[in-house]
Structure 1
Amino acid sequence: MLVVCLALSLAGCAAKPVSRELLEEAPILTPTSPTGLDLESLPPPRRKLDIAVYQFPDLTGKNEPNDNVAVFSRAVTQGGAGFVVDALQRAGHGHWFTVDERGGLNDLLQERQLVRATRAEFEADNARPLPPMRFAGLLLEGGIIGFDGNVVTGGVGANFLNIGGDVQYRQDTVTVAMRVVSVQSGEMLTSITTTKTVYSLALRANVYKFVSVDKLLQAEAGITRTEPTQLAVRQAIDLAVYASVLQGAKKGIWNFADPRRGRELLDDYLAREATTPVQLSSVPKKPEG
């Protein structure tokens, strides 16, 4: 009888829909950092710029750091070009750059050839030609040029009566280089290098104590927090695009639609650049009203 009841209960559980796992989370859009928010809040330009990005590779040659075993995974993302395109399209809420497709140029040309061949086959002499592809006046180049692991390491711990804890931390750095080149002349218009620090922190606590002659109490707890490297790369790229816009405005290569707002933004950027590393969280916003 007991076996029958157990079988029925298992069958009832199997009929219920499978619930989500305890730690499962739904996908979300990547949150925008303060650097990204300032990039998006750039005043619009006088004229939108066409720009092309062929690649933005990992030039570090570094594998993921591991003190115990050899790891062949790369230390930084191999999809830097995707972050660059995203940053260019977010600059000034999309008012600064028109990004022309170049990463999948071969696929694009093949698809256009397929369209032309299909139209020629079914429409003959009446086949409509495809409009010309956009060409860029600017070319963005560069890459992730540095990843230095364990730049700073350390920790602290203490125990008293076999009750204690310890804290360990590590600091890595990611460096990005970006340059904007004129397609017509080949002149390098802007050149920017940015660095982002990546922090890792581990906190542990433990108890090891005899509660009686033959009974031992042992307990441990801990938490580790590591900043995702790809988000650090994204912030460094966002800052590089932001600085490239302001450096080009400083040289008069392009201009803001509102010269007064552009001048205020540029003066603040140059003043902070001359004294401290650029941190965009304090960039003045457009006054309300």
Structure 2
Amino acid sequence: MHYKFYKVIAIISCALLLSGCGAYFNQPIVIENARMGESTKVTKTLRDFPNPIEPVVVGVYKFRDQTGQYKPTETGSTFSTAVTQGATTILIKALEDSKWFVPIERENLSNLLNERNIIRSTRKEYRKNKNPDEPQLPPLLYAGIILEGGIVSYDTNIITGGLGARYFGVGASTQYRQDRITVYLRAVSTSSGKILKTVYVSKTILSQALDANFFRYVTFRRLLEAETGFTKNEPTQMAVSEAIEKAVESLIIEGIEDKLWAANSDTQTVNDIITNYKAEQDEAHNTALYERYFKERRGKKSIFIKGGTALINGDYNSPELSYSVRAGARYYFNPFLNVNASINKFELTNQNAFSEGFNAIDLNAEVTLLPFEKLSPFFFGGMGNVNTDDFDRTFFKFQYGGGLEYLVSNNIGLSINATHSVILGDKLDNISQGKRDDQYFNFSFGLNWYFDNPIKMNKKERKKKKEDGVKLKELRERNRKIRKENLKPRG
């Protein structure tokens, strides 16, 4: 009885730990006091920016939620909006934190003008009766730049999923959902109406749910049931704040680059900021939805080595796995298509009936489906020949297969693959019976080494590079002929 009780406690403890210690052990069980608002990751970046030579006076009339979406619920939607309606206030706070802009009140301009009229009326009455020399009310600041834009989209459930398992009354599961918010910000010159710069930022919003439960009879007529879990939702307001702050950061740096304004700092610091931003911009341009990062990765040439197992499918029963080793090289015509050749040493075995070593030469055409991503499936097919170790028998064959490759760096890739080889003959295992030719399978793990420059993603760039290579080859050939002519004896 005690053993079972301790076993139950251990299972529940493991379930709790799997549910996530951080969120689980920080549950809100007391009333919290008011606190200063949280900062995002971009807030510190804005505050650490070098100061400008002269801050720019900007006006923000309205930075609106342009989505018009209402908050979704399980029964439909409510009258609450999906995103905050205070984006203007968030933008003004980001402008203040950056120290590059002097925001002036324009969202509630009518209130400001009414208050100034009250001040004028009061001073007028005061001057009549007591102080005729009261100074005039100073004029309002006017903006050289107006910031426009807004929250242009809020996409819900762009990714949903989960994972769970249950065994013998013990179970746990997790679910997640990802939303996405998009912000546009543009700077407009008040003197000409020209749009000086437009920036675009997106931010994902993550929601997670974890739960674990236990349901089991521990003894006769004694049922133990336990359940725990939590849900964690990224605040939409924080996501909006981070996206707007990132838009302000992008506006400042691109404005420096286009000489719309200047930093009061040394040239090296400014160049470092612009270089880091361009690297981030290049990564963003090559990243598609769902964080799929596209990049020029694989070189034009590669060599590979693979090791694994071979399995015969012939005329004998009880085939056994044996060793297989392969080495070869690839040449890419374009990022998707390559041709490769390899030599293969392997052994085929049937239990107590057949065992022999073989050598094979394979020539394949291979297609890489996702050449600009780290993880990519590939498929191949081709022909070759198989020889016994003593080369007394030779067979022709066709082979096809596929696998997955993961690039651990720009030059090194790891792969797993399977190959099915169909022999044009039925005597690979020294016996011929039935109508079907002999076959065998290879299952292997490989190491690929890429060299030469990565192949360009853009088709026009690849074509131009090829044309430049042809011109360079022609120029070298012409120079070679000229040198040859110059070396001829004059007569």
Q: Is the Cα contact below 8 Å between 2:40 and 2:241 reproduced in 1?
A: no
Matches within 5 A, 1:209-288: 209-260=216-267, 261-276=269-284
User: What SS class does the counterpart of residue 64 from structure 2 fall into?
Assistant: coil
Where does structure 1 lack aligned partners over 5 or more consecutive residues?
1-20, 279-289
Distance (whole Å) between structure 2 residues aligned to residue 61 and residue 145 of structure 1: 9
Are 2:174 and 1:170 aligned?
no
Distance (whole Å) between structure 1 residues aligned to residue 135 and residue 178 of structure 2: 59
User: What SS class does the counterpart of residue 192 from structure 1 fall into?
Assistant: strand
- Cα displacement (A) at 1:214: 2.5
Distance (whole Å) between structure 1 residues aligned to residue 212 and residue 187 of structure 2: 50
Counterpart residue identity of residue 104, structure 1? N
- Cα displacement (A) at 1:22: 4.6
Q: Is the Cα contact below 8 Å between 2:148 and 2:187 reproduced in 1?
A: yes
What's the counterpart of residue 71 of structure 1? 78
Counterpart residue identity of residue 273, structure 2? L
- Cα displacement (A) at 1:73: 1.1
- Cα displacement (A) at 1:216: 2.0
What's the counterpart of residue 55 of structure 2? 48
Matches within 5 A, 1:19-38: 22-38=29-45
Name whichever structure is richer in helix by fraction. 1
Are 2:121 and 1:121 aligned?
no
User: What SS class does the counterpart of residue 176 from structure 2 fall into?
Assistant: strand
**1:194-216 alpha-carbon deviations (Å, 9 max, x no partner):** 00111011000011112233332
What's the counterpart of residue 140 of structure 1? 147
Distance (whole Å) between structure 2 residues aligned to residue 263 and residue 164 of structure 1: 55
Distance (whole Å) between structure 2 residues aligned to residue 63 and residue 70 of structure 1: 6
**1:201-244 alpha-carbon deviations (Å, 9 max, x no partner):** 10000111122333322211011111000000000000000000
Are 2:112 and 1:108 aligned?
yes
Matches within 5 A, 1:190-209: 190-209=197-216
Distance (whole Å) between structure 1 residues aligned to residue 83 and residue 55 of structure 2: 32
Distance (whole Å) between structure 2 residues aligned to residue 111 and residue 272 of structure 1: 46
User: What SS class does the counterpart of residue 128 from structure 1 fall into?
Assistant: coil
User: What SS class does the counterpart of residue 31 from structure 2 fall into?
Assistant: coil
Alpha-carbon distance change, 277 to 226 in structure 1, aligned in 2, over 3 angstroms = farther
Q: Aligned pair count?
A: 255
Where does structure 2 lack aligned partners over 5 or more consecutive residues?
1-27, 287-491
- Cα displacement (A) at 1:146: 0.7
Counterpart residue identity of residue 99, structure 1? P
Counterpart residue identity of residue 109, structure 1? L
Which of 82, 91, 100 is matched with 2:89 structurally? 82
Which 4+ stretches in 1 moved above 6 angstroms?
A: none
- Cα displacement (A) at 1:44: 1.0
Q: Is the Cα contact below 8 Å between 1:119 and 1:128 reproduced in 2?
A: no
Name whichever structure is richer in strand by fraction. 2
TM-score when normalising by structure 2: 0.50
Alpha-carbon distance change, 69 to 23 in structure 1, aligned in 2, over 3 angstroms = farther
Are 2:190 and 1:186 aligned?
no
Return the index of the structure with the highest Cα Rg: 2
Q: Is the Cα contact below 8 Å between 2:179 and 2:206 reproduced in 1?
A: yes
Distance (whole Å) between structure 2 residues aligned to residue 34 and residue 218 of structure 1: 42
Distance (whole Å) between structure 1 residues aligned to residue 70 and residue 41 of structure 2: 29
What's the counterpart of residue 281 of structure 1? none
- Cα displacement (A) at 1:105: 1.0
- Cα displacement (A) at 1:69: 4.1
User: What SS class does the counterpart of residue 65 from structure 1 fall into?
Assistant: strand
Identity %: 36
User: What SS class does the counterpart of residue 72 from structure 1 fall into?
Assistant: strand
